[in-house]
Amino acid sequence: MARIVMKFGGTSVADIERIRNVARHVKRETDAGHEVAVVVSAMAGKTNELVGWAREASPMHDAREYDSIVASGEQVTSGLLAITLQSMSVDARSWLGWQIPIKTDNAHGAARIMDIEGSEMVRRLGIGQVAVVAGFQGIGPDNRIATLGRGGSDTSAVAIAAAIKADRCDIYTDVDGVYTTDPRIEPNARRLNKVSYEEMLEMASLGAKVLQVRSVELAMVHNVRTFVRSSFEAPDAPGMGDFDNPPGTLICDEDEIVEKQIVTGIAYAKDEAQISLRQLDDRPGVSAAIFGPLAEAGINVDMIVQNISGDGKYTDMTFTVPHGDLQKAVALLTESKEKIGFDQVQSEAGLVKVSVIGVGMRSHTGVAATAFKAMAEKGINIRAITTSEIKISILIDGPYAELAVRTLHNVYGLDKA
């Protein structure tokens, strides 16, 4: 039969009863004859509690000890699920990141996976043992636990699926798939049957919270077919055991999608902030002087707009950063004012980025014009625009976010099957 990696998030393992429900999902697949590896997150709220304790102990804590603390949540969950599976007569064994091992770099708290030695896990899967893996963690070059950043269990699952050559990676969460937009904003949002890796990568990076961005990157690089499914569906519900066509959304190569929509979905990201540098010296190297220090400080710059200089001497530059990084970014720029060469820095918070995404945009014209016309008709001012082959992002004032999402969802016909 097939080899499957099943990943369950924090809400899916929030208490013992939900862990029993997860175990029933796992047993369904083992009863069907599949080889199964399971990746689990910490119980809902547990990681936040552990982070709080670390910060209370010392605001300036050692990153290596921080990782040791916060990784313990997944350790508890993996052990509890293994015990529960054993009580259901399923041969199961828990694994921590260092036991596989999942080798990472040395960036504690935001480590990247470098290599996974999965041969022993594959051997045990072959004799029918379920591997229950603590997500979010690996082992660094210093032989200490290293965590992968928030949402890192998604990355663990996809990486393990690639390492053991799984036929599929099922990401179980509290939603039953990927939708055309947030159903909480647009009740007519539809669940998508298939989404390409590129589209999902854009959606994840532009505000959709279904999957961690790095997990989608890994899935795309290693061509790991990934299903987003709901753990709250009854394990024995119709279709749940259908390997070829289970309920949920398949994230796959674009070639698997026969009918490509012009627009697949609308994503949005709140808490964007805008920074403008006025009377900026228009000379070679000025952009590097601005964005180099911001990058070194770990501040992600997104939308960039530069006005054309009329006199060849001065120009204005506007860009966006996450709201949480606004004060740090302004402080860095102010410190470097003389070196960069600008008159003043202006900033504004509370903005929203709304994005139109779809691989079909590559071969169709007028997609951007439709969005701009729709915003104009609703009286929504566009502050900045960025585009790629498969996405258009616009920056607008925060109070118009929901109106913009609903308007774009409707104008592209995403509410229609």
Nearest Cα neighbor of 47 from 16, 79, 14 is 14
- The encoded tokens of residue 96 equal 């921590």
The predicted structure's pLDDT at residue 310: 67
Binding site residues for ATP, as ranges?
A: 7-10, 173-174, 179, 184, 209-210
> What pLDDT sits at residue 416?
78
- The overall longest dimension of the chain from CA atoms, in Å, is 78
Q: Show binding-site residues.
A: 7-10, 47, 74, 173-174, 179, 184, 209-210
What pLDDT, on the 0 to 100 scale, is given for residue 155? 95
Q: Sketch the domain layout of the chain as residue ranges.
A: 3-255, 265-411
Q: What is the pLDDT of residue 238?
A: 85
Residues in the chain: 417
HSE (side-chain half, CA atoms, 13 Å) at 231: 25
- 235 vs 224: CA distance, rounded Å: 23
Q: Which of 27, 274, 304, 7 is nearest to 134 (CA)?
A: 7
Calculate the alpha carbon distances from 218 to 213, 214, 229, 336 in Å: 9, 6, 19, 37
How far are the Cα atoms of 151, 222, 252 from residue 200, in angstroms, in the given order? Answer: 16, 15, 9
| 290, 340 contact by CB (below 8 A) | yes
265-411 in CATH: which number? 3.30.2130.10
DSSP per-residue letters across 3-69: EEEEEE-GGGGSSHHHHHHHHHHHHHHHHTT-EEEEEE-PPTTHHHHHHHHHHHH-TT--HHHHHHH
Q: Are 360 and 403 in contact (CB under 8 A)?
A: no
Cα–Cα distances (Å) from 359 to 160, 298, 336, 391, in that order, read: 28, 30, 41, 8
Count, in order, helices (H) and strands (E) of the chain: 13, 18
**pLDDT of the residue at 255:** 86
User: Do residues 311 and 277 touch, judged by C-beta distance below 8 A?
Assistant: no
The answer to whether 409 touches 180, Cβ cutoff 8 Å, is yes
The CATH superfamily label for domain 3-255 reads Acetylglutamate kinase-like (3.40.1160.10)
CB 42 within 8 A of CB 96: no
pLDDT by residue for the chain (417 residues), tens only, comes to 899 999 999 999 999 999 999 999 999 999 999 999 999 999 999 999 999 999 999 988 899 999 999 999 999 999 999 999 999 999 999 999 999 999 999 999 989 999 999 999 999 999 999 999 999 999 999 999 999 988 899 999 999 999 999 999 999 998 889 999 999 999 999 999 999 999 999 888 877 778 888 999 999 999 999 999 999 988 888 888 888 888 899 999 988 887 778 899 999 998 899 999 998 888 888 899 999 999 988 898 989 988 876 666 888 999 999 998 999 999 999 998 888 989 899 999 999 999 999 988 888 888 999 999 999 999 999 999 988 889 999 999 999 999 999 999 999 999 876
Would you tell me how many other CB atoms lie within 10 Å of the CB of residue 287? Answer: 14
Three-class SS state of 340:
helix
Check the CA dihedral 92-97-99-103 and report its sign. Answer: positive
d(Cα 321, Cα 109) in Å, to the nearest integer? Answer: 21
Predicted confidence at residue 22, as pLDDT, reads: 97
**Alpha-carbon distance 314 to 121, whole Å?**
61
Could you list the residues known to form a binding site for substrate, using ranges: 47, 74
Joined together, the tokens standing for residue 186 give 């647009």
In the chain, the amino acid numbered 148 is L
pLDDT of residue 282: 83
The string of pLDDT tens digits covering residues 383-411 is 999 888 899 999 999 999 999 999 999 99
* Pairing between β-strand 92-95 and β-strand 130-134 as defined by DSSP bridges: parallel
pLDDT at position 365 is: 85
Helix or strand run (H / E) with residue 411: helix 401-411
Round to whole Å and give the CA distance between 173 and 228.
7
String of DSSP letters for 354-404? EEEE-GGGGG-SSHHHHHHHHHHHTTPPP-EEEEETTEEEEEEEGGGHHHH
